Amino acid sequence: SQKIEQNSEALNIQEGKTATLTCNYTNYSPAYLQWYRQDPGRGPVFLLLIRENEKEKRKERLKVTFDTTLKQSLFHITASQPADSATYLCAPADTNAGKSTFGDGTTLTVKP
Amino acid sequence: KAGVTQTPRYLIKTRGQQVTLSCSPISGHRSVSWYQQTPGQGLQFLFEYFSETQRNKGNFPGRFSGRQFSNSRSEMNVSTLELGDSALYLCASSWTGTGNYEQYFGPGTRLTVT
């Protein structure tokens, strides 16, 4: 069955450092992979989408990589700030419309 | 552009009752998906509607049902509520619902079953 694993439930880093979050998937080959941010008690917010033919994508302090051979995506936040503290969810998706599977998320805490 | 809205925001029901939740997508979005989020199970896909048709369904019992109206607004119904149905129910709208388009989530409905 399809499985998505995100690295350790919680990640604590110091302000200014780079946070790296991992998303591994097994038993399917997604054509796209999305990353979302979720704050407590609120719905997820879309951050980035990367396609299978793209190795890397950037948006401001965010960078996502997608390695279809390793079946892994890495999500980086550079120059992290306490405001970046949240849970980050990855969601690999294929071209089959409408069914999204989310990982359990990694909770990031950035300490001042 | 207005975001996704969900009503009600909070709901308390008794075991055995039924409940209907409502979701209004972003204007122009034709796909609406529903998710259940609990601390133990994470974000679980319930179903997705596109142009008034259920296009995808997750692994939930038949007590969970939904529909979509011609204006893309969607409702989700849970019958014969169980304690385990207590969760945050999120809806998300998307232009087409494919993996190539981001989903916009509403604030959710917090359902508590006692």
- Between A43, A89, A100, which is nearest B107 by CB? A43
Mean pLDDT within A53-71: 95
Amino acid sitting at position A3: K
Q: How far apart are CA A73 and CA A92, in angstroms?
A: 9
User: Which pLDDT does position A7 carry in this prediction?
Assistant: 81
Closest Cα of chain A to B45: distance in Å?
7
Judged by a CB distance cut-off of 8 A, whether residue B96 touches chain A is: yes
Task: Please give the residue of chain A at the shortest CA–CA distance from B105.
Answer: A43
Given a cut of 90, whether residue A96 has pLDDT beyond it is no
User: Which pLDDT does position A97 carry in this prediction?
Assistant: 53
* Chain B interface test: which of A4, A89, A99 (most B C-beta within 10 Å): A99
Q: How far apart are CA B48 and CA B33, in angstroms?
A: 4
Given a cut of 90, whether residue A49 has pLDDT beyond it is yes
Q: What are B71-110's pLDDT values in tens digits?
A: 999 999 999 999 999 999 999 999 877 767 889 999 999 9
CA distances to A20, A21, B9, B39, B67 from A6, in Å = 11, 7, 29, 15, 32
User: Which pLDDT does position B73 carry in this prediction?
Assistant: 97
Max mean pLDDT among A39-43, A50-54, A75-79, B26-30 falls in A75-79
Cβ contact, residue pair A100, B103, below 8 Å? yes
Q: Strands of B18-108 (E only): list them.
A: 19-24, 31-38, 42-50, 53-57, 64-68, 74-78, 87-94, 104-105
Average pLDDT, chain A: 91
Given a cut of 60, whether residue A106 has pLDDT beyond it is yes
